[in-house]
């Protein structure tokens, strides 16, 4: 039976490359994006079983309704890749409250909302893979040395991964991934890695066998320190 994967922020950058990779592997791919018409246009240009779905990470109430509608229309979600995120600059002295609150909403609360809505269906179906895309800027081991709002929200997403992993049945897994510094709109043109290089570990975690890892943090197919 074909498995279904929902990828947030699937309309560009790392998200779009992940959409392409999962479709190539035979998955039914739900390309999550805020602008549905743009998402449909992008999906129509790709090869594979790809459907654009409206996912607005900025509003928890609407997001939960959207996730429930997607479950109803598409018959369930087997794999959730929480890729969508925003990056704002600033330190504790210069970051605006609005930027901090929005970063926490999009980078942390939205993945939490999606997981809470989708996880019961994964458990009922007896299969689930959740991949939270974070960053080395969200790693205590690396000093949390990125912009305040981004680093704190990604560290919190890592904490969510680790905390929830112990409450899952063996056939549902959650892991975090640091895809590396990639040449995307977010990473910029001077980043050392092509966007395709960031997809490999995401795809691996999204397709883990039942004896695969759970509750870990990974980069380039290897575990890394929180």
Spatial CA neighbour of 182 closest among 191, 173, 190: 191
List the domain range (segments joined by +) for residue 97: 4-223
Q: What b-and-e string marks burial along 53-91, b requiring 16 or more CB atoms within 10 Å of the CB? A: bbbbbeeeeebeebbeebbeeeebbbbbbbbbbbbbeee
Of 27, 101, 127, 150, the active-site residue reads 150
What are the C-alpha distances in Å from 9 to residues 36, 106, 157? 12, 11, 16
Q: Is 101 a catalytic residue?
A: no
What would the two tokens of residue 27 be? 């998955």
Query: Residue 189: which CATH number?
Result: 3.40.50.720
Euclidean distance between CA atoms 129 and 210, whole angstroms = 10
One digit per residue, the tens of pLDDT, for the chain of length 226 reads 899 999 999 999 999 999 999 999 999 999 999 999 999 999 999 999 999 999 999 999 999 999 999 999 999 999 999 999 999 999 999 999 999 999 999 999 999 999 999 999 999 999 999 999 999 999 999 899 999 999 999 999 999 999 999 999 999 999 999 996 655 666 666 666 666 777 999 999 999 999 999 999 999 999 999 9
Provide the domain count of the chain. Answer: 1
Give the whole-angstrom CA distance, residue 89 versus residue 67.
Answer: 30
Dist CA 86 CA 117 (whole Å): 22
Cα-to-chain-centroid distance, residue 202? 9
The sign of the CA dihedral 40, 42, 48, 51 is negative
């Amino acid at each position: 039976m074909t498995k279904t994967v929902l990828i947030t922020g699937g309309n560009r950058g790392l998200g779009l490359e992940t959409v392409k990779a999962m479709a190539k592997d035979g998955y039914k791919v739900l390309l999550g994006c805020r602008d549905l018409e743009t998402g449909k246009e992008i999906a129509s240009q790709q090869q594979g079983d790809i459907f654009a779905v409206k996912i607005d990470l900025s509003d928890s109430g609407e997001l939960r309704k959207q996730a429930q509608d997607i479950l109803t229309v598409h018959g369930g979600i087997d794999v959730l890749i929480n890729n969508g995120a925003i990056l704002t600059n600033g330190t504790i002295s210069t970051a605006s409250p609005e930027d901090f609150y929005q970063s926490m909403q999009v980078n942390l609360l939205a993945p939490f909302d999606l997981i809470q809505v989708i996880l019961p269906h994964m458990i009922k179906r007896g299969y689930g893979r959740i991949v939270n895309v974070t960053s080395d800027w969200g790693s205590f081991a690396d000093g949390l040395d990125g912009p305040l709002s981004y680093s704190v929200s990604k560290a919190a997403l890592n904490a969510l991964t680790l905390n929830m992993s112990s409450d899952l049945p063996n056939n549902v897994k959650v892991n975090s991934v640091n895809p590396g510094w990639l040449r995307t709109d977010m990473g910029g043109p001077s980043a050392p890695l092509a966007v395709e290089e960031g997809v490999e570990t995401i795809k691996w975690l999204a397709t883990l066998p039942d004896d695969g890892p759970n509750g870990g943090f990974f980069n380039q197919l290897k575990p890394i320190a929180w």
